[in-house]
Amino acid sequence: MPTQDKQPVSPDILLGILKATMPFQVVSDAMLRRIAAISWKVSYRAGDTLYEAGGPADDLYIVVSGKIDHELAPGVNARRPMKTLGEGDVFGWAALLEKVPNRLAKAVCTEDALVIRINGEELLKTFESDPDAGDVVMSRFATMITRDYTVPDLIAQLRGIHRKLHARDAQGMNVTLYRVSRWLKSPRPYLMLLGLSIFFGCWYLAVEVFKLPRFREMPGITTVVTEWLNPNPVFGLSLYTEEYYKHIAVSVWRVTQAFLLATALGVPLGLFLGWSKGVKDYLFPIFEMLRPIPILAWVPIAIVMFVATESAVIFLTFLASFFATALNTMLGVESIDESYTRAANCLGASKSQVFFHVIVPGALPFVFTGLQISVGVSWFSLVAAEMVSGQYGLGYVINTSYTMVRYPTIIIGMITLGAVGYVTSAMVRVAGDYMMQWRVRELALGAR
């Protein structure tokens, strides 16, 4: 039995102890102080039993000093059931599993020990008050437990712990609606509206109020909005015309084809350029020679190469997107610390295992950054590409409106292109967040 119970601990000392443990290393000082408020220290003598398997799982433990033997019960089916715990080790994690209310192990002191005890129920409530931080800590607990004990039967539940916190906050609400509600509570949408208001306000003042020299021939915002919302537009294009939506649909389809093709070819090429020195030595000089050539320079070549006009447009839209994707992917691979690949090689991983389990995940943040740039560049190059198109597309609208002096239609086409481009970039960003939830949690915890 412990010699003392619930000895107070200085918050500053306790913060240092918590920061030295793996699950709490990334937690903010504010949350650590809240955790300190539900913690206390307890002294044990050699031979004392802290808890037995099957007992109530109430508290979490951190070893401050001494040695403790921690042995999981046979029913847990752990491949490594026994572990001797020392300074900084965390145990008693069954207190964080609501579906496992009882202890899964036996903990016995092998020498005098000092431990910190944290109330499990209160700790979960603390995590629920800040789900982003709770997500990270709980996922780290899952990683720690799997690493130390290899518990096959519980691994799915352990890795699902951190997702439960967000689900609890989003009860009865679609996940998308939940994210939208959190976005609306943040300052971001209101700052965005403020920025747009300033932009359109400056446009109105420069063209219609002060009539500055450089802006005299430009259509004012009231002229553009009136044309855009006119059921019978003067220049033939508005929200009420079927042709307007056909132009949008054609451009979206072209960009989608070019983007998917650029992703399918650019990501693998970037991975191999970054991973293999031989591949980079052979291909990178050609890659760098072709990359600076502007899209307009490729127009004659595209017309000669592709008999079908549509193929030429997709090819020209694909080019800029492809280079952006491949280059960012290559930089992502080169940014991976070599110690990770060396560690994998030392543990006996094959080349394919290193590639798929170290290189690809490590490069993903750069890959999706490249894809966001890629889809934006696709829209950027679409105007040049649709110069060879004879009928439809937003680039075609802008180019034709210029030759026919339909300035309001030019602005309508530009704003539409920008809005659709923004939506497609956001879709790529959401897809990246979904595939890299570990990164989203880390960035959210860092308030980035």
For residue 166, the model assigns a pLDDT of: 46
Task: Report the alpha-carbon distance of residue 119 to residue 126 in Å, rounded.
Answer: 11
Domain shared by 163 and 243, yes or no: no
| Residue that terminates a domain, selected from 131, 149, 170 | 170
Q: Under a CB-based contact definition with an 8 Å cutoff, are residues 54 and 72 in contact?
A: no
403, burial (CB in 10 Å: exposed 0-12, middle 13-18, buried 19+): exposed
Q: Is residue 400 part of a domain?
A: yes
What band does 149 get if pLDDT is binned at 50, 70 and 90? low
Q: Is residue 242 part of a domain?
A: yes
Please name the helix (run of DSSP H) or strand (run of DSSP E) that holds residue 269, with its range, or none. Answer: helix 242-275
Q: Is residue 201 part of a domain?
A: no
Q: Is residue 205 part of a domain?
A: no
Comparing CA positions, the residue from 62, 59, 118 lying closest to residue 87 is: 62
pLDDT digits (tens, 9 = 90+) for 239-276: 999 999 999 999 999 999 999 999 999 999 999 999 99
Q: Is residue 2 part of a domain?
A: no
Q: pLDDT above 90 covers what percent of the chain?
A: 41
Q: Is residue 314 part of a domain?
A: yes
What band does 390 get if pLDDT is binned at 50, 70 and 90? low
Residue 437, C-beta contacts closer than 8 angstroms, at least 6 positions apart: none
Residue 164: give the domain boundaries. 11-170
Domain shared by 129 and 269, yes or no: no
| Residue that terminates a domain, selected from 148, 170, 192 | 170
Q: Is residue 61 part of a domain?
A: yes
Name the DSSP letter for residue 207.
Answer: I
**Residue 405 pairs with which residues in a beta bridge?**
none
Q: Is residue 117 part of a domain?
A: yes
Task: Report the alpha-carbon distance of residue 413 to residue 247 in Å, rounded.
Answer: 9
Decide if pLDDT at 178 tops 60. Answer: no
Task: Report the alpha-carbon distance of residue 295 to residue 339 in Å, rounded.
Answer: 40
For residue 238, the model assigns a pLDDT of: 94
CATH (domain of 308) = 1.10.3720.10
As for how many domains the chain has, the answer is 2
Q: Name the phi and psi angles at 273, rounded to 5.
A: -65, -40
Domain shared by 243 and 388, yes or no: yes
pTM, two decimal places: 0.61
Helix extents (H) in 386-436: 394-403, 407-435
Domain shared by 377 and 233, yes or no: yes
CATH (domain of 25) = 2.60.120.10
Order of all β-strands in the sheet with 59-65: 39-44, 113-119, 59-65, 90-91
